[in-house]
Structure 1
Amino acid sequence: MPTSAPPVRAPGAERSMSNSRAAPSEGERDSWLKWAALGIGVGAGGASLLVTATAALAAYFARRVVTPARVREQDLPILAVIRDGMNLQVVLPVTAETTVQGTYSLFFDGGAGHAVIGGIRSYVPREGTVTRDVLRVSGSDLAHAARGWWSSAVFAGPEDVGLTAEDVTIDLPVGPSPAWLFRAEPALSTWAIMVHGRGATRNEGLRAVRTAHDLGLNSLVVSYRNDGEAPAAGDGRYGLGATEWPDVEAAIDFAVAHGAKDVVLFGYSMGGAISLQVADHSRQRNIILALVLDAPVINWVDVLAHQAELNKIPAAAGRYGQLMLSHPLGRRLTGLAAPVDLKSMDWVSRAVELRTPTLIIHSVDDDFVPYGPSAELATRNPEMVTFEPFSHALHTKEWNVEPERWDALVAAWLKPRLGRYDLPHGTEPAD
C-alpha cells in the first residue's frame, strides 16, 4: 500500500503573533442593538431583512458558545480494525486530527468503549485513510464499533494513571460535585487542582497528575457546573469562566480544609480562563502559588472572532453575537442568567494586572484557540508569565504530541516554586 508522511503545517504560518482583533466601540454596540431591534420589529424590506438575518445568525452563534452539548457526537467513522498477531490497528478517515503524530483516545459505543491510539502506520491520501496502532482497548469491543470521537484525554479514568485515587465530593455553590483525589507520598503542603475545558470532563486533567505526583503534590481533579458531572447552573449555560470560577474556589476550600497551604491551578482551554478568574476574584487568590495553563483562552473576543471565521459566520454577525453575550438585552436570546463581561476576561489588555506566576503551554498550530494572545500576554508581562510554544499539536494536545517535553517543562518550571511551607526556615527548594 502506498504510504506518505502526513502533512505538517508551517508553525504559525496562518496567523500573526498577536492575532488581535478590534473590539466594537460603545457607539458601535449601541448601533447594533438599535438596528437589530429595527430589523426584528419591522421584518420587511431589504435592509431590515438583512439585519434580521444577521441578528438570527448572531443569536444562533451566541447560544452555541454558551450551551453545553447534552450528548457527545460520534463524528468519526471507524473504517476497519485490523488484527496483526497480538497487535491491533485501526483505519480512520484522514482528518486534521487523525494525521498528527502522538498518542490519543478514541471513544466509541457512546463512550462505553475506549481505545488508546498510537503512531501512524500508513497514510494514503489517495484513499483518504490513515492506519494507526491501537495500544489498548477497554470497556467495549472496538471491532464492532462503527463510529466514535477523537480526544486528547488519553486516560479515560483514574485507573489508567497507575496511581490510587479517592472519590471525594466538593460542595459547590450549585451543589455537591464529584472529584478525584490523588495523594502523593510524601506530600508537600502545595496541592494541584486540575480544571478541564469547555465540552470536556475531568478526565482531561488526568494527564498532569503523574507530573504533579512526582513533584510531591496531592492532585484534586475537579468537575464544575454544567459539565455533565457536577450539577447544572440555574440557566444551564456556560459563563466562559465568569460563573464557573466559584466552583474552583470551592475546590481550593476543600484542599485547605484537608491540609493544603497553597495550590497550583492547572487549566485547559476554558479551564485556563476559569483559573485566571479565580486568581483575579477569589478570596483564596493569595494562596494560589502558580498557574499552569494549557492552550488557555486569554481573550474571549479573539477566540469568538476566530470561531466565527472558522464557521463561515460573517464578521458582522460574529461581532453582534459577542454583543448578545455581553449585553443585558441579549439574555433572552442566549439564555444566560446574566451577561458575560468579555472585556474583564481580556488578559492581553489587563496583562500588568496578572500577579500570579503563570506558565502557558500553547501550540502555534492550535486551530481552535489561537496562540497569539498567550504569546502577547507573556510579552507584556514577562515578570509573571512564561510562554512555551509547541508545534504540530492541535487544541489542548501538546502533551499528546510531546509528553516527555510537556512533563519536563512543567516540572522544571514548578519545582523551584514549591515547598515554601515544607522546608526548614531559611532554606530554598532544590533545583
Structure 2
Amino acid sequence: MKREKWGPGLIGAAVGAGAATVGLVGSASVSAYFARKVVVPPKKPIENLKVLSVDFSSPDITEGQVPTAIRLDATRATLAPGTYGFYFDGGASFALLGEVLAYSPREESVTRAVLKVIKGNLAEATRGRLSGVVSPTPELAGYDSEDVSLELPVGQAPAWLIRADDKADSPYRKTWAIMVHGMGATRAETLRALETTQALGMTSLHISYRTDREAPAAGDNRYGLGFTEWEDVDTAIEFALARGAEDVVLFGWSMGGAIALQAMDRARHRAAIRALVLDGPAVDWLELIQYHSEINKLPLRLGELGISMISKAALKVFTGLEKPIDLARLSWNRRPEDISVPVLIIHSLADTFVPASSSKKLAKQSPLVDFVPFAQATHTREWNVDPQLWTKTVQDWLLALAR
C-alpha cells in the first residue's frame, strides 16, 4: 500500500526529509520550515491521488455510459469503509464514492463504487482527492438555504443559513447550531451534521472564517489555530441572537474544535453557548505539534524551537505571524478546569493526524466532557464510516443534555 501523502493540514511529510539535512541547512531553517507548516495555509488543496481507471455501465439509450467504479491509489483513506466525496479537475468537479469493491495489494490500488457524478467528466480525470464532504452545497444535501454575510473583524464572510421546521416538542427549537469547519476545509464539511440538527428543529449557520479561502484573509495570511478565529464565531453568535436564537450549540471539526473551545472561553457572547459538539478536535496544540515532530523524526530541540517560533514574539519573524500564538491557552489538557459548558467529543481511534489520546485524556480530566470513540475512520470522517451512529450519538447526547 502506498504511503498516504499529506494534503492541506498540519505538517508536510517533507519535514522528515528536512530533519535529515539539519547539518546542512541549520537548526533554525528546519524549525522554521516545521513551524510555517503549522500556520501557513495551503494555496489550494492537493489532488494527491492518481485515477488509475474508471469503469462504466453498459450504454443506456438515454444516458449513455454511466461511471460505476473508480480505481485509485491504495492509502489508509481510500481503503476506509464508508461514503466520500471525490474532487477532481482542480476542485472544479465532484463525484460521490461508495464502498470498496476491490483491493489489489500487488498493484497498490483500490476500486470504489461511484454513486453519483455531481459535476464534471470523471472519464477524463487523471488525479483527484478524497474528502469527507458528501454534498458541496446544502441544496445537493436536500435542504434549502439562504446565503448570508457575516461582518467579521477582517471583512464580510459568506455563510449558509439553513432553517429548520418548527418542532414545538423539541427543547432545541430556539437554539441555533453554529458550524465551524476544520483547517484546509470549507463550510461544506459541516453539512454532514444537518440530519441531526434538522431532526431537533435547530436552525444552523455554516460559517466561513478568516483565511479559509472563502472569507477574507487575516492581515498576516496565517492560521491562528483558534487563537484568533474565535472572534469570527463570536460574530456568528451575535448574528444568531439578533435573529431570534435564545442560545447556540457550537459544532467544530478538527481545528474548528479548537476555535469552538476558544469561543467558549473568550467570546463576548459566551454566555449564550449551550454546549459544544466536536469531531476529531485539536484540543491540545502543544501535544499535537510534539506528536507531529516525533512522527516526522524531528529532533526534540528542533520541535521545541518550532513551538517557540509560533509562540514567542521575538521569533515570529520566522513564521510571518503578526502576533504570537499562545499555544498553552490552546492546550486544554493543561487547563481542563476551564471547560465551562458540556462538551461531546467524537473521535476515531484510528485517527493518525489528530490522535484521539488528547480528547480521551480531556474527558477523564473534566466532568463536563463526554468522549465517544469511533473505529476505522481517518481524520474527521467518523460520519462517513457510520452516519447512522454519528447522527444517533449526537442527537441522543443533546436530548439527554436537555433533560
Q: TM-score, normalised by structure 1?
A: 0.84
Please, which of 346, 349, 354 is the counterpart of residue 331 of structure 2? 346
Cα pair 2:98 2:115 within 8 Å, conserved:
yes
Partner residue, 1:412: 396
Q: Are 1:257 and 2:208 counterparts?
A: no
Secondary structure class of the residue paired with 1:355? coil
What is the Cα deviation at residue 233 of structure 1?
A: 0.8
Please, which of 374, 393, 403 is the counterpart of residue 387 of structure 2? 403
Please, which of 316, 324, 333 is the counterpart of residue 301 of structure 2? 316
Q: Are 1:387 and 2:371 counterparts?
A: yes
Q: Are 1:118 and 2:103 counterparts?
A: no
What is the Cα deviation at residue 311 of structure 1?
A: 3.0
Q: Tell me the amino acid that sits aligned with residue 395 of structure 1.
A: H
Partner residue, 2:71: 91
- Radius of gyration: which is bigger? 1
Please, which of 51, 74, 79 is the counterpart of residue 47 of structure 2? 74
1:187-222 CA distance string (max 9 Å, x none): 611000100011111111010012101101000000
Secondary structure class of the residue paired with 1:210? helix
Q: How does 1:273-288 map to 2 (within 5 A)?
A: 273-288=258-273
What is the Cα deviation at residue 51 of structure 1?
A: 9.9
Tell me the distance in 1 between the aligned counterparts of 2:57 and 2:335. Answer: 55
1:150-176 CA distance string (max 9 Å, x none): 111111111221010110011111111
Q: How does 1:155-194 map to 2 (within 5 A)?
A: 155-186=135-166, 188-194=173-179
1:299-324 CA distance string (max 9 Å, x none): 00111112223333333211110111
Cα pair 2:230 2:259 within 8 Å, conserved:
yes
**Structure 1: any 5+ residue segments left out of the alignment?**
1-5, 7-48, 419-428
Tell me the distance in 2 between the aligned counterparts of 1:288 and 1:404. Answer: 26
Tell me the distance in 1 between the aligned counterparts of 2:76 and 2:298. Answer: 21
1:118-168 CA distance string (max 9 Å, x none): 011111101111111011112200110000111111111112210101100
**Structure 2: any 5+ residue segments left out of the alignment?**
2-21, 59-65, 168-172
Tell me the distance in 1 between the aligned counterparts of 2:91 and 2:25. Answer: 40
Q: Tell me the amino acid that sits aligned with residue 411 of structure 1.
A: Q
Tell me the distance in 2 between the aligned counterparts of 1:416 and 1:372. Answer: 25
Tell me the distance in 1 between the aligned counterparts of 2:129 and 2:254. Answer: 19
Tell me the distance in 2 between the aligned counterparts of 1:51 and 1:224. Answer: 39
Q: Are 1:307 and 2:292 counterparts?
A: yes
What is the Cα deviation at residue 50 of structure 1?
A: 4.6
Please, which of 132, 140, 153 is the counterpart of residue 112 of structure 2? 132
Tell me the distance in 2 between the aligned counterparts of 1:244 and 1:231. Answer: 12
Cα pair 1:269 1:396 within 8 Å, conserved:
yes
Q: How does 1:188-227 map to 2 (within 5 A)?
A: 188-227=173-212
Cα pair 2:67 2:122 within 8 Å, conserved:
no
Secondary structure class of the residue paired with 2:191? helix
Q: Tell me the amino acid that sits aligned with residue 396 of structure 2.
A: A
Tell me the distance in 2 between the aligned counterparts of 1:355 and 1:164. Answer: 34
1:278-335 CA distance string (max 9 Å, x none): 0000111111000000000110011111222333333321111011100011111100
Cα pair 1:161 1:210 within 8 Å, conserved:
no
Q: Are 1:141 and 2:126 counterparts?
A: no
Number of paired residues?
Answer: 371
1:394-419 CA distance string (max 9 Å, x none): 1001111111000000000012344x
Q: Tell me the amino acid that sits aligned with residue 292 of structure 2.
A: Q
What is the Cα deviation at residue 87 of structure 1?
A: 5.5
Q: TM-score, normalised by structure 2?
A: 0.90
Farther-moved stretch of structure 1 (335-344 vs 70-79): 70-79
1:71-95 CA distance string (max 9 Å, x none): 2211111111001345610001111
Secondary structure class of the residue paired with 2:308? helix
Q: Tell me the amino acid that sits aligned with residue 108 of structure 2.
A: G
Q: Tell me the amino acid that sits aligned with residue 41 of structure 2.
A: P
Cα pair 2:71 2:111 within 8 Å, conserved:
yes
Tell me the distance in 1 between the aligned counterparts of 2:274 and 2:313. Answer: 35
What is the Cα deviation at residue 377 of structure 1?
A: 0.6
Partner residue, 2:10: none
Please, which of 171, 191, 215 is the counterpart of residue 230 of structure 1? 215
State the percentage of identical aligned residues: 48
Q: Are 1:59 and 2:32 counterparts?
A: yes
Tell me the distance in 1 between the aligned counterparts of 2:67 and 2:153. Answer: 48
